[in-house]
Amino acid sequence: MNTIQIADKKFELLMENETINKRIRLIGIQLNVDYEDRCPVFIGVLNGSFIFMGDLLKEIEVPCEVEFIKVSSYRGTESIGTIKEVIGLPENLGNRDVIIVEDIVDTGITIKHIIDQVYLQKPASVKVCSLLYKPAALRAPVEELQYTGFEIPNDFVVGYGLDYNGLGRNLKEIYRAIL
């Protein structure tokens, strides 16, 4: 279906599942090369990254650890700009290669907050892997954002882990809000 309704909003198809999965396979190949002979810690940012994290980790062939953190910063389609940690970071990141896995980097406020917290533990390296990235919404450059699936316009999107008021995370495809 190309147009769907979630609560009070209409959305149109932006990305097929096969397009997403092809891109994830390529990111996996890149990570396997970049982290050869290392043992990175992947930290998924809940809730939005849960599907991306699962599909991405199936492509990873280097030894690795998997952790999750949970932050909440959004209400509906608008950023409220404050970040609440619901599940905190693991405490053993000293000297580790950390890869933070996000569903989307929008303003960059959430990821910047998480990156700053990770650095406090003196890791060996910190990189961010985000499925989606809205360059037009980014408030300040995020140097650590080295792996991105797709750059998308500054529209609100749902599906493949991303929600609208808690709904739509289960959709296989990614949809964007129709104004």
Backbone angles phi, psi at 137, to 5 degrees: -95, -15
Task: Read off φ and ψ for residue 31, nearest 5 degrees.
Answer: -65, -40
Name every residue whose Cβ is closer than 8 Å to that of residue 84 and which is 6 or more positions away in sequence: 71, 72, 73
Contact 128, 147 (CB under 8 A): yes
CB nearer to ligand IMP: pick between 24 and 114: 114
Q: Does 11 bind ligand IMP (CB under 6 A)?
A: no
Q: How far apart are CA 9 and CA 163, in angstroms?
A: 12
Interface with ligand IMP includes 148 (CB under 6 A)? Answer: no
Structure tokens at 125: 């390296």
Q: Which is nearer to ligand IMP, 98 or 115 (CB)?
A: 115
Active site residue 106: yes
Whole-number Å distance between alpha carbons of 80 and 124: 32
Stretch that binds ligand IMP, among 16-24, 36-44, 88-96, 101-109 (CB under 6 A): 101-109
By CB under 6 A, name the one of 35, 42, 147, 156 that touches ligand IMP: 156
**Under 8 Å between Cβ of 35 and 126:** no
User: In this chain, which stretch among 32-40, 60-68, 88-96, 100-108 interacts with ligand IMP, using CB under 6 A?
Assistant: 100-108
- Applying CB under 6 A, among 17, 30, 73, 117 the residue interacting with ligand IMP is 73
If one asks whether residue 174 binds ligand IMP (CB under 6 A), the answer comes out as: no
Q: Site size for ligand IMP, by CB under 6 A?
A: 19
By the 8 A CB rule, do 106 and 124 touch?
Answer: no
Of 106, 116, 155, 163, the active-site residue reads: 106
What positions carry a catalytic annotation? 106
Q: What residues line the site for ligand IMP (CB under 6 A)?
A: 45, 48, 73-74, 79, 102-111, 156-158, 162
